[in-house]
Structure 1
Amino acid sequence: MADALSLPRLPRLPRLREDLKLLPGPSTPDGAPTWTLHDPAAHRFFRIGWSEFEILARWELGNPQTIARSISGQTTLKISPAEVMEVGSFCENAGLIQAEGDHGARRLSAGLEAKKMSAAKWLLKNYLFLRLRLLDPDRLLASLLPWVGWAFHRRFPPVLALAAAFGLYLVGRQWEHFTHTLSWAFTPAGAAATALALSLSKMAHEMGHGLAAKRFGCRVPAMGVALLVMWPVLWTDVTDAWRLTDRRQRLIIDAAGMAAEVMVAVLASLLWAVLPDGPVRSAVFLLAGSTWVLTLAVNLNPLMRFDGYFLLSDLLDEPNLQDRSFALGRWWLRERLFGFGDRPPEVLASARRSLLVGYALAIWVYRFFLFLGIALLVYHFAFKLLGLFLMMVEIGWFILRPIAAEMRVWQKRRADLRWNRNLGLSLAMLVLAVLAVAVPWSGSVSAPALLRPERQSVLYTAQPGQVIEAARAGRPVVAGETLFALKAPELEFRRRNAEIEIEGLRTRLAGISFDTDSAESVQVTWEELGKAVAELRDVVAAMDSLVTRAPFAGVVVDIPPILRSGLWMGKHDPLGILIDPATQMVEAYVAESDLDRLGLENPARFYAENGEVTIDLRVRSIDRLSTRELGVAELASKNGGAIAVREDPNNRRLIPETSLYRVLLAPDADNPPPALIRRGTVVLDAKAESPVLRLWRHAVAVLIRESNL
């Protein structure tokens, strides 16, 4: 009695709402029972364990000490009044307490005020994702359920798998034709058909979820559309599935949407394989292709709150998987960085805790790149100033704001810091990171480059013919030397005919007497002779063009490997490149942000793409005007190079996507490079600059360029 009197008197517990329902839940992996607490007003479900169930079952006792004493005396659980108070705090924060008296009214009013937000804040939170409720499908699903009972038979999944395999086999036999049909999607009719196909597949998806939930006795109170980055996405409320105790049933509901889409994709694939070419077949192709891709790439993704997430949650039997993972992830991060010594948010086996922490880290990394990609997307969708503003809002709200919130927690817990191994490692890593980004370590600039001679000539065949002589690659030649010779039987035949015709015409002229009657015949013969001579002259010129001679002294390189004596070649086929080794140089293109760090006579080094050549160089000249047209096609991205370009449709010019400046570099005179034309990278010695300063200059340059300031 003395011990009881010495305990502090705790406040009486508030009453729970009378509309709450406590339902049996599934057993945990270790066999412990669970219960599901249903809040019908908010249509939310909470999974609770044995101790929370016993506390709520005795809530009417009203006093934490009485409840704890009753549980400890009547069960094997040992509950303290503090644990009862924790459950009370949870119920109050979750809105499960009746609003009684002035305190309850103030609490309810404060909750409503906290939910209020300004129009600007509402727009900021919802322009990326806005959910709209359209209809209550519960009665419709109940009437449709008898017609689709066959889809829930245990023999249906193997049949669907066989049909899918057969459909993919038929598509695979015509795979090239299947992929070529994609071009039709970019026509106006194709775009409309694509939108219709996506709408049909998504409707089937949501109906699949709803019918599966209704099959197991759940209520489906709402269907609607959500605007995800202004793109409409259908949704179905199957929250009622949380009250199901059979995990297999919940998994079926989770997978039913994808199963419905697979059925659509299988049917569309089979139809595509048998339909004749035409708009209907193209539309069926879009339905099949979009359904297969979206089902696998989007719905199965467990890092977003789509079907893949709920499947993973039910497979692991971990309710509220994301929120609990985030809590464990934040705890793990703080412990690894500072070693606070806090207890984990919940007690789990080591393997399960590691799994949830890893899942949280994966989501954070995924979200970082996802929101960064969305920021770029909204920037390109809007005009420049609005797009730039939306991109900054996206990065600030969804990337920087959570990071800042976590750092504020670190700042508030400065008093809890104690020197330990984790804190020491974190400080050391912080110092190294600051040094890595702030100290000007980098004293070089890398740029795509091409090793080539200033004096070169590309050699082509002028006429089709058969090779009778070919130069050897790498052999020095003199000006005027024959490099390649071809023969063309057709030209030889035409020359012989022209010579015979000329000889015959001359004989005819010699035998014609000069009188009045034959004057007209002489004039015609002279005209025919002139045409024959012109034909012979053209044939001789064409035959002479079959011989390719060196326009200057140099070395022939890049001769096609198949070129040999006896090979037949067409008109304008490449024969090789004649270069002057004495004029070898390197042409490189540097970014605008690196231009001020370079100077004339700075040393540099060229590394060939295949690693066969390394050359020491000196900067000879630096252009002060950006390159408007890339004159070195070998470095263009369309040809496998490192410089991103777009092609001018009018005159086929290669235009760089970013500002680039040409730098010419010369090798040492005492160590001439080999006579080659090679693509590679040049590393130039430059003024040292810290990475953070370089990033800042680059960001400012992009900001100025994109905002047209």
Structure 2
Amino acid sequence: KRKQIVQTLQNFLFLRLPGWDPERTLNAIYPFFKWMYTTWAVALVVILAAAALLLVSIQFEEFQSKLPEFQQFFGWPNLLYMYLVIAGAKVIHEFGHGLTCRHFGGECHKIGVMLLVFSPTLYCDVSDSWMMKNKWHRIWIGGAGAYIEVFLSSIAVFAWWFSQPGLFNYLCLNLFFVTTISTVIFNLNPLIRFDGYYMLSDYLEIPNLKQKADKALMKAFAWYCLGIHLPDDPFAPDRNRHWFILYAVASWIYKWVLVLSIALFLYTWMKPYGLQNVAVMLTLASLGTMLFGLGKSLYQILSMPRNEPMSKLKIAFSSVLAVGVLGAILAIPVPWWIHSSFTLEPYHVEHVYSFSSGHLKQVAVEPGQDVQQGDVLLILENEELDDQKRDYEAQLDVANAARNTAVALNSPDEVKMADERIASINDQLQSVTRQIDQLTVRAPISGKIVAAESVPEQKLPGSGKRNLRSWYGTVFQERNQGALIEVGTHLMSVAPSDAMQAVLLVSQDDRNELHLGTPVLMRCYHLPDQIFEGVITEIADRQSDYAPRQLSNKSGGDLATVTDQEGREKLTELAYQATVKLSEQTDLMFSGLSGRARFIVDKRSIGGWIWRYIRQTFHFRL
């Protein structure tokens, strides 16, 4: 039991939970699925799989263009659907093993739940097949799950390809992704202990292939690197031991690659929610358990009783070689890509904001209309400012009369006080007049009117009813006539031309890595098959507090935000704007379009990037 607990902790990305005996269930459903093992059924699956592969190959470009972007595919709620599809597909997969074992006369007494990278799946214990003399029967049992998944994947390809976008379309895509990726990367791969491993072991007729390969590698390492001669294993093969060593090395390399790939997936998926450090910690924990296993094997070698001492020459040579290889790997220069979200807006666009608060009285333009600099765009009214102006004008009349009286009475002190009073009232009157003038919003440049981002409808807390004092949508909508417009509200924009530019939101950690002229590659979400190029022309010095709604993770974007009382999406982490001038554009581009951008910020060694991440994560101050 203690050994099982230790193994579970060492492989927490692949957790296997206790199971139950499914024998009665398998015996009950076997008659309904016996046809799957006939020759014509196997031929049908092969033809269907070949047709699906042919469809994808011939229509690959269109096939790729219909695939959603990473964050769209793995975002909520699609991720929930994917978990359900994984659970369903793996239940069928494992029952395929059990039914096949039953078909060839074996028994299955254990089936249970396993968490594969925290995704639900099943495992099926068909160790009873080891007693079968026919190795091809054992191979069939091992490959039954993949056989079922190929069938499901082929159907999913056609169903997804010919269906309209919607829930069913997404479920088919999920099923295709789950069955195809899991079959290729996990189930049929002989380097990890899943179906492919047992099929290879049965084909070679070598039980416990992994353990024997690891022992052969350990024996070779002990002799060539430490000068220790380990006792021979009586059950180890006498010939072709180099193939076992090669298999063990390949298995270890693949396991490391797999863990790092999963880590990259988790990091990319969790980053929009600000949880990327959780992915890093999980990765470090998983790598730590793997290193612990290596350390344990080394300890077993060193603690074994032996008659001869270790070879100092071999230890020195292997140590120098290991340090040299590690140093060479860490010194390899690697370009670092930074990913960022962006929105498109007109090139050199001028955003129009309200500088005074007031009620919306008149909108003099429409989206798409051409205007000249100084043209009236919008008029607000503020009765409070009008009252203040009349009050100051009345006070000014009184102050002027008082001054005239003081002059007539030849009272210099009274004249001086009256002049100071008049100057103060004039300052206040000019300030109010300026605010009233700002109620008439004019075009800052000549160009075409572009509507501002739509303001979401606000609800009263706890009631779900609309706040009647608020406005939503855009100022161009008739229902917002008379609505109160606060100071600093984005009313509209004026585009001087039809050219577009991209506005990136870059994290604070990456902002210092940016430079003017840095080339950028961009892909719009609604044009996934096209990549646009550009260069950074401007980098903001001040941080951005808010993000466009389409970039928020609440709308399927990459940026973690919280909604404030005014309905704006406030960033949870510091970010800076960077403007990119596009090298080319198409007629399909329009203002407000969003996507993902990436650019190389620097070339450093692997060790340099690791140290940079450590400093940023733990905020070291040297």
Distance 1:122 1:317 in 2: 26
Task: Give the secondary-structure state (helix, strand or coil) at the position aligned to 1:329.
Answer: helix
Task: Describe the shift of the 1:321–1:641 C-alpha distance in structure 2 as closer, same or farther (beyond 3 A).
Answer: farther
**Residue 396 of structure 2 is aligned to residue 396 of structure 1:** no
Aligned to 2:516: 632
Distance 2:535 2:293 in 1: 36
Aligned with 1:303 (options 191, 208, 218) = 191
- 1:210 to partner: Cα distance: 0.9
Identity of aligned residues (%): 25
Q: Which amino acid aligns with 1:634?
A: T
Task: Give the secondary-structure state (helix, strand or coil) at the position aligned to 1:632.
Answer: coil
Task: Describe the shift of the 1:224–1:156 C-alpha distance in structure 2 as closer, same or farther (beyond 3 A).
Answer: same
Alignment of 1:117-266 (within 5 A): 124-125=9-10, 127-183=12-68, 185=73, 188=76, 190-266=78-154
What per-residue deviation string (whole Å, max 9, x for no partner) do you get for residues 153-193 of structure 1?
23432332112222333444544443344327456454444
Aligned to 2:613: 702
- 1:428 to partner: Cα distance: 2.9
Distance 2:124 2:246 in 1: 29
Q: How many residues align?
A: 387
Task: Describe the shift of the 1:315–1:376 C-alpha distance in structure 2 as closer, same or farther (beyond 3 A).
Answer: same
Contact 1:271 1:284 in 2 (8 A): yes
Distance 2:302 2:65 in 1: 58
- 1:396 to partner: Cα distance: 2.7
Distance 2:516 2:259 in 1: 37
- 1:194 to partner: Cα distance: 2.9
Alignment of 1:266-415 (within 5 A): 266-275=154-163, 278-346=166-234, 352-372=240-260, 390-399=282-291, 401-412=292-303
Aligned to 2:589: none
Aligned with 1:430 (options 319, 322, 325) = 319
Task: Describe the shift of the 1:370–1:640 C-alpha distance in structure 2 as closer, same or farther (beyond 3 A).
Answer: farther
- 1:225 to partner: Cα distance: 1.0
Contact 1:264 1:291 in 2 (8 A): yes
Task: Describe the shift of the 1:273–1:407 C-alpha distance in structure 2 as closer, same or farther (beyond 3 A).
Answer: closer
What per-residue deviation string (whole Å, max 9, x for no partner) do you get for residues 78-109 of structure 1?
xxxxxxxxxxxxxxxxxxxxxxxxxxxxxxxx
Q: Which amino acid aligns with 2:36?
A: A
Task: Give the secondary-structure state (helix, strand or coil) at the position aligned to 2:518.
Answer: helix
Task: Describe the shift of the 1:304–1:632 C-alpha distance in structure 2 as closer, same or farther (beyond 3 A).
Answer: same
Distance 1:212 1:446 in 2: 48
Task: Give the secondary-structure state (helix, strand or coil) at the position aligned to 2:48.
Answer: helix
Task: Give the secondary-structure state (helix, strand or coil) at the position aligned to 1:182.
Answer: coil
Task: Give the secondary-structure state (helix, strand or coil) at the position aligned to 1:268.
Answer: helix
- 1:628 to partner: Cα distance: 3.4
- 1:214 to partner: Cα distance: 0.8
Structure 2: runs of 5 or more not aligned: 337-346, 348-445, 447-496, 501-508, 523-531, 549-574, 581-598
TM-score by length of 2: 0.51
Task: Describe the shift of the 1:331–1:148 C-alpha distance in structure 2 as closer, same or farther (beyond 3 A).
Answer: same
- 1:363 to partner: Cα distance: 1.4
Contact 1:181 1:285 in 2 (8 A): no
Contact 2:20 2:112 in 1 (8 A): yes
Task: Give the secondary-structure state (helix, strand or coil) at the position aligned to 2:251.
Answer: helix
Q: Which amino acid aligns with 2:63?
A: F
Contact 1:629 1:655 in 2 (8 A): no
Task: Describe the shift of the 1:384–1:699 C-alpha distance in structure 2 as closer, same or farther (beyond 3 A).
Answer: same
Q: Which amino acid aligns with 2:516?
A: V
Pick 1 or 2: higher relative contact order, CA cutoff 8 A, min separation 6: 2
Q: Which amino acid aligns with 1:150?
A: W
Contact 1:340 1:418 in 2 (8 A): yes
Contact 1:132 1:225 in 2 (8 A): yes
Q: Which amino acid aligns with 2:124?
A: T
Q: Which amino acid aligns with 1:329?
A: L
Q: Which amino acid aligns with 1:237?
A: D
TM-score by length of 1: 0.46
Contact 2:112 2:122 in 1 (8 A): yes
Give the alignment's Cα RMSD to 1 decimal: 4.9
Structure 1: runs of 5 or more not aligned: 1-111, 449-459, 461-537, 539-570, 575-624, 657-678, 685-690
Aligned to 1:6: none
Q: Which amino acid aligns with 1:265?
A: S
Distance 2:248 2:185 in 1: 20
Task: Give the secondary-structure state (helix, strand or coil) at the position aligned to 2:67.
Answer: helix
Single out whichever of 646-655 and 244-253 deviates more from structure 2. 646-655
- 1:323 to partner: Cα distance: 1.0
Distance 1:312 1:174 in 2: 34
Task: Describe the shift of the 1:384–1:635 C-alpha distance in structure 2 as closer, same or farther (beyond 3 A).
Answer: closer
Contact 1:205 1:260 in 2 (8 A): yes
